[in-house]
Amino acid sequence: MGTVKRIGGAVFLLAALVGCAATPKQFPVALEVDFGPAGRPPISEELTVGRGATPKTLLAQRCAVETGAACCDPREVSGIEGVAIDPAANRWWTVSVNGSTKVSPYRTKLKPGDRVRWSYRADDQ
């Protein structure tokens, strides 16, 4: 029985170490900001973030970010570098990670090598 406990403990420890090694404490992530109709030059940089970073925390590391309920949640990004959402003109900030828009700006955890793109655009819907 003691051997089984030791092996089980060793397997658990190994799994924990592998899990930690999968995401280093600090890692590079690409950030792109497309100001679209606002006419500002785009931003394209690689930044270093820590475990637990989200698209919103990455953005705030480089840009001035305004937060407020654009639609539903007070944590939403309502402005970047002074370019605010404009419901009257149907212009909004959207975010994608590695091309997917099925992400949450404040819940999705970034991984090494992710590419985060914020775009200011008119909603076509």
Average pLDDT over residues 18-22: 51
- pLDDT, residue 122, reads 84
pLDDT at 58 over 70: yes
- pLDDT, residue 24, reads 82
- pLDDT, residue 18, reads 45
Q: Could you identify the residue written with the tokens 């914020």? A: 118
Q: Please report, in angstroms and rounded to a whole number, the separation of the first and last CA atoms in the chain.
A: 63
% of the chain surpassing 90 pLDDT = 66
Contacts of 87 (CB under 8 A, 6+ apart): none
pLDDT at 109 over 90: yes
Q: Which CATH architecture has domain 25-122?
A: Beta Complex (2.170)
Number of H helices, E strands in the chain: 2, 7
- pLDDT, residue 13, reads 42
Give me the residue spans of the domains in the chain. 25-122
pLDDT at 100 over 70: yes
